[in-house]
Every structure is written in structure tokens, then in C-alpha cells.
Structure 1
């Protein structure tokens, strides 16, 4: 009888300790979040636009949240390393990923061995969007997509295009362009946008799809010539550059964007607090800075961002199928 009583008491104490532990671990989701520094993971190297964007948002969000938001660069394997780290982190809101199409969609779809998928994340907010611009070196004879396609038809396999890596947005966009134009062009992958642009500027590569922000200054300086923009309407910053549709090419709804996501299972209250901080940051001087660079700042709420992500996955899947790219190594 005594032994049974002691066993019952021991079980009760163990249950009480477990309940207390679970209650304590759930505390951040009950209004106390955040009570320690947060981490914003950038899956690319420091110094690039993605890193700069993250630091601007982190600084502003920290003042709203009342806790530091520390930017941590986890670069490598086209952003896969950083994204995988966040996907496997605790779903408590303290580890956030700065997402891009390459890390969230094209890598899981194309790269072998990727250990996460888009559904492993909850969306916080779509922060920024920018169009892809097809550029050529300024001395190039190409004044339009028609010129580029015509030369590619006359010289099969000799025309080159650059990208910032196998399976990247630029790789897919140029592959679709070649497929739709019925031509064969050579892909020259680089480890980053800046090194790819260096060779395009020097005329060592014939063309490149690149984000407007990365190329706008070179276009203004006359060092790059934009011949088309992947946008529904012409850009106010490039009013003389035709859209793909205007250029007689089948338009495909893909572009560059930056969003914030957290691991699946992060509580609603936490996601909402992070969104409110990101929304406030997007309405600050950051918006003017990004608008000047030719970008849109939607700062959408979590539900709208989830819907956006579903559409983007469908758009990119369609583009990937058109491109014929598959089974790439990290």
C-alpha cells in the first residue's frame, strides 16, 4: 500500500513538473514575445543587396520589438544552408529567414539533396519585389530581344548568357527565353551577381537577366543596355524599355522578391508581432530608398504572403518545366 502511494505521488510530481515545463516553454506565445534577441538569417554572404536589405529591416524591427534583431549570414549552396538551418530551428519566432525565390522555390525544385520544402515555413510578410531586366553590354549590337534571338538562330550554341548560379532565377529566365525563341544558347554560371555582371560589362558574356537594383546604376551610366523587362507594365525608371510581351516574347510571371518566413509551427501571435514590426519598417524611410532603386514594397500580411507564395510556386514550376532544367547538384 505504501509503495503504491509513493508511486502515485511520484507520478503526480513528474506530471506536474512536465506541465510546468510545457507552460514555461509556451510563454513566448502568450504575449511575452520577444523576451530575448532575435536572429534574422541571410542565406548569402555579407555585403550583397540581400544582406543590406536585411540589416535595414532588422534595425527598424528591433526598435519596434524592443529586442535586438541580429543578422546572421549563413551562406553556401545557393542559399540552401541558411534556409535549412531556419527550417530545422525551434518554431518560436526567434529565428527568421530572409527568403528569395532561389532559396524557397527553385532550390527545392531543382537541387538534389535539399532537406526542406516551402511548406516547412510559415510566411510573415512579402517585403520587396523587383523585376528582372535583360541586359547586354553597351557596345553590343543587340538593341532588342529580336536581335538577340536572330543572332542565336544564325549562330546556334555560340551566344552566351550569365547567371548567378545553376538553377538561379536568371538561369531559369534565360533558359525559358531560349526555349520560347527556339534557339540554343550557352549558360555561364557564376558564384554571385557581382562577378557575373563584371564579365557582362567587359563583354565576355553576351547577356544576362538581372534584378533592376543590381543593374540600374550601370544602365544610367551607359555601361549596360536594357533590352527588355519582365514586368506587366513598363517601369517608371526605365520608360523606354519594352516589356517581354511588347517584345513579342511569351511573358512568364516570374521576378525577384524578398520575404520573411519562420519555421512551420510558429504560433499565430508571434507571426503577427513579427509582421507588424516588418510592416512598420516597410513604411519607414526604407520604402523611399527601395522605390528609388526601382522596387515595390508591398509589406503584405501573413495570409496574403501565403497566397502569394502558392502562386509563385506555380509560376516558377511552370517556368522550370519550360526551361528543361532538372536534377542539379548543390
Structure 2
């Protein structure tokens, strides 16, 4: 029995030493970054830019692999089930944290299977209208909705999405009713809908519509944020109009649970430095997204807070028959 305990102790010590050595030498090869959205979109662009800066400090390439599907869950699940050695990491967004676990879209999909690297951005939602829209302010829109209940067409992203919840909250606070129309597939179909006149209003981030804003096709009416947008500071905040709604998406970076703490911390330091770099700050200031760093020890609390708040809200909407 003593020999067995001695052998076990040696094995444990060897594993600790090898793990420490792995962390000290890391990385010795390129790192795979799983982006749970399609190439060319907002999330993909931000993660690519940040990774291209971070890899200079890391000393090895961070190559992007786009894995779509399952409302962003497919890519995140690949990270959850990858070898926990620091060579597969990935990103999460609102749907990864809220939609997929709430709707139980993927068996075995659990936040506990991830080690948090950091939250890198915040991307508040906003109400967007055509440049020539008669609605010049949020009060104009609400007044029109009161005069014409259920007639103003508003493009949201999926039933039960964060943009859908934004408008349900606004309806409740302003005591109005809109015609909420769900468009699956993110901001692209919303852009098409507002450009061809299918809807009068769209709800997504200003960053998602940045190209149309720059081209003068649409304008931001109000943003659901606590602080002015660094790119579009002229867009009013809903809370300053009497409707304190603060909502939106975010980008979180994570590794598989079990990844050595030293490796996670090295990745966190590297991406935090990339986020604060002049190159990234100059670039992100043009795309309507707010940098918003939270470290490895803070992200878990943020995720838990988001889930508790939004799961409760969606449970209430189910009871009311608004969500199925």
C-alpha cells in the first residue's frame, strides 16, 4: 500500500512538472481560434483584427476557423470539447451565452466546460431608421406607435433574440405596440428589409449597420447603452430619453476547461495588451463597437448575471404566451 501511494505521488508530481513546463514554453506552435460566426461579419472582423495583433506578442500565428451553425453553439461546443492545451480557443457572443443554453439547442453544451480568457468588447443594440424617415427622435417613433398600434414594422433578429427582447421592453415601458418581424441570419436580412422598405425600423447594433450609416442610407435613432458610442457619439442614449434599456452583444474569449491557469493567464495578458494597443483602438473607433475588457476572474460573474437576468425575463414571457 505504501509503494502504491509513493508511485501515485510520483505520477502526480510528474504531471504537475510537465504542466508547468508546458505553460512556460507555450506556445510552441500555431493557435486555432474558432469563430462561431461566418467570415466577413462583425464578430469575425473583430476577432480577426484582435488576433492579428495578439499573435505578434504571442510569437505564433493565431489562425481563424469559422464554424457556423446552432445559433453560434456549434463553434463554441468545439472549443468545449477540444484538448485543453491552449492550442484551441474561441469566442462567445450573446447567443452562445443566452440563446443556446436557454433553448437547450445542443446536448452537453455547458458553460462549466470553458475556461474564461476575457471579455473584449461590448456592442450595444440600437434602433435604426432610413435616412429619410419621418421619425427624427425616439419620441417621434413612440408617438406614431401610439397613434397606429401594431402598424409600425420593426425588424428584429429571431423570436426571443436580444433585439426582440429590447423591443418588448420598450413596448412595455412606453405602453405601445409595434409589428415585430423576425429575420433569421443576423443583420444582413435586416439591412435588406430596411433598404427595400419592408420595414420602417431595424434593431441591431450601430456597428452592424456602419456601412449603411457611412453611405448615408440609414441613421441611428437611439442606442441602448449606458455610455455614448465612441464612433457615433451623436446618437442619443435611450436612458437619456427616459427609457433606461441597456442591452446588446459582446465578445468573450475562452479555452476548454482544464487548460492550465498559466496558459489562460498568458492568453488573457496577450489579448488584453492587443485590445489596448493603439492599432486596435484606432481601428475599433471606426466600427461602432466599444472595447470592454473583463479578466478571467470577472467573466464568470458577468455570464452568470446575464443568464440569471435574461432567463428570468424569458420565463416570464413564456408564461405570458409571448415566447414559445
Q: Decide: shared fold, TM above 0.5.
A: yes
d(CA) in 1 for partners of 2:133, 2:64:
40
Distance change (3 Å), C-alpha of 1:154 and 1:80: same
Q: TM-score, normalised by structure 1?
A: 0.83
Q: How many residues align?
A: 316
| 8 Å CA contact 1:160, 1:186 repeated in 2 | yes
Shift of residue 216, structure 1, vs aligned partner: 3.2
SS of equivalent residue, structure 1 residue 261: strand
Q: TM-score, normalised by structure 2?
A: 0.84
Does 2:120 correspond to 1:127? yes
d(CA) in 1 for partners of 2:80, 2:60:
22
Deviates more, 1:126-135 or 1:226-235: 226-235
Shift of residue 81, structure 1, vs aligned partner: 0.7
Residue in 1 that maps onto 2:156: 163
d(CA) in 2 for partners of 1:295, 1:247:
22
Residue in 1 that maps onto 2:213: 219
Distance change (3 Å), C-alpha of 1:29 and 1:172: farther
Residue in 2 that maps onto 1:53: 46
Q: Which runs of 5+ in 2 are unaligned?
A: none
| 8 Å CA contact 1:79, 1:103 repeated in 2 | yes
Deviates more, 1:16-25 or 1:45-54: 16-25
Does 2:297 correspond to 1:300? no
d(CA) in 2 for partners of 1:323, 1:142:
29
Shift of residue 113, structure 1, vs aligned partner: 4.3
Does 2:199 correspond to 1:201? no
Distance change (3 Å), C-alpha of 1:236 and 1:297: closer
CA radius of gyration, larger in:
1
| 8 Å CA contact 2:229, 2:290 repeated in 1 | no
* Equivalence map 1:217-256=2 (5 Å): 217-235=211-229, 237-249=231-243, 251-256=244-249
d(CA) in 1 for partners of 2:235, 2:50:
31
SS of equivalent residue, structure 1 residue 44: coil
The structure 2 residue matched to 1:92, chosen from 54, 65, 85, is 85
d(CA) in 2 for partners of 1:24, 1:316:
43
Shift of residue 219, structure 1, vs aligned partner: 2.7
| 8 Å CA contact 2:76, 2:90 repeated in 1 | yes
Shift of residue 135, structure 1, vs aligned partner: 0.7
SS of equivalent residue, structure 2 residue 135: coil
Cα RMSD for the two superposed structures: 3.0
* Equivalence map 1:306-325=2 (5 Å): 306-317=300-311, 319-321=313-315, 324=318
d(CA) in 1 for partners of 2:40, 2:228:
30
